[in-house]
């Protein structure tokens, strides 16, 4: 059966999005966070054929992605994330205008709130928010930003800022992992069945107890147990300990 050829309209069209940010209490990990958490979920990697939202994703990362885990396995949830990704790809100014407004509404609550802008993507949203809105949200008194990234340049860009990034290890980025650890940063690694006490001579902490990485000790490996499709990984993305 031949794959259908999409028209330009089918590739670029999207529906209006009422809310970009989702409450973290629908996520099995972020519900454990000590702070109320809001997450931006987009379609990852090259799910939409026009743009790659995870440009440094490895083959193992793509096949083990939690995009289809939990509520993400439902077709309506996946279609919603694809729709948001198209919004981001083809109407960037409007996208960041809406995202900026949602973040400002959260700030008006005048209570500490955690925000993860890359729930299922790897984009420098903080920079793009500033470009399109003129607002540096890292100066917020109440919003606490954190994420995982495989982009070592973005990691180094924010290493001394209020944006807490954890570098994600894959089967293809060992050099960058060593670089981040030497800089005193933290690296997230996925293990097969249990967590070791140390990895690469660095202390391993349990990253499944909470998703809120802002309170992690410095210069550690954030250990995660393989879940979903990751349990079947043979690429080396999941570490056999």
Gap between the Cα atoms of 56 and 59, Å rounded: 10
Q: Does residue 57 lie within any of the structural domains? A: yes
Q: Does residue 196 lie within any of the structural domains? A: yes
Q: Beta strand 238-239 with 187-191: parallel, antiparallel or unpaired?
A: parallel
Domain that holds residue 27: 17-239
In the predicted model, is pLDDT for residue 19 greater than 80? yes
Confidence (pLDDT) at 132? 98
pTM value is 0.89
Tell me the Cα Rg of the chain.
18
Q: Does residue 158 lie within any of the structural domains? A: yes
Number of domains observed in the structure of the chain: 1
Confidence (pLDDT) at 5? 56
| Cβ neighbours of residue 206 closer than 8 Å, sequence gap 6 or more | 195, 223
Encode pLDDT of 192-238 as tens digits: 999 999 999 999 999 999 999 999 999 999 999 988 788 888 888 99
Whether residue 236 contacts residue 171, with contact meaning beta carbons closer than 8 Å, is answered with: yes
In a 13 Å sphere around the CA of 88, the CA atoms on its Cβ side amount to: 27
The larger pLDDT score, comparing residue 241 to residue 224, is at 224
Q: Does residue 65 lie within any of the structural domains? A: yes
Gap between the Cα atoms of 84 and 17, Å rounded: 7
In the predicted model, is pLDDT for residue 171 greater than 90? yes
Q: For 19-23, 45-49, 136-140, which range has the lowest pLDDT when averaged over its residues?
A: 45-49
């Amino acid at each position: 059966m031949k794959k259908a050829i999409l028209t330009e309209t089918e590739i670029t069209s999207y529906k209006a999005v009422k809310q970009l940010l989702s409450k973290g209490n629908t996520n099995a990990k972020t519900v454990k966070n000590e702070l109320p958490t809001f997450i931006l979920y987009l379609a990852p990697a090259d799910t939409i054929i026009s743009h790659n939202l995870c440009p440094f994703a490895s083959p193992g990362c793509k096949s083990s992605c939690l995009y289809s885990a939990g509520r993400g396995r439902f077709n309506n949830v996946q279609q919603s994330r694809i729709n948001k990704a198209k919004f981001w790809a083809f109407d960037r100014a409007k996208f960041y205008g809406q995202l900026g407004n949602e973040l400002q509404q959260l700030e008006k609550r005048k209570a500490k709130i955690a925000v993860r802008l890359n729930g299922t993507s790897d984009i420098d949203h903080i920079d793009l928010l500033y470009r399109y809105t003129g607002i540096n949200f890292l100066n917020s008194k109440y919003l606490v930003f954190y994420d995982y990234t495989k982009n070592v340049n973005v990691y180094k860009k924010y290493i001394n800022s209020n944006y807490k990034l954890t570098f994600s290890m894959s089967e293809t980025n060992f050099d960058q992992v060593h670089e981040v650890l030497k800089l005193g940063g933290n690296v997230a690694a996925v293990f097969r069945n249990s967590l070791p006490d140390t990895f690469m001579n660095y202390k391993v902490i349990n990253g499944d107890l909470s998703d809120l990485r802002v309170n992690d000790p410095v210069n550690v490996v954030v250990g995660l147990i393989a879940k979903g499709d990751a349990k079947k990984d043979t690429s080396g993305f999941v570490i056999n300990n």
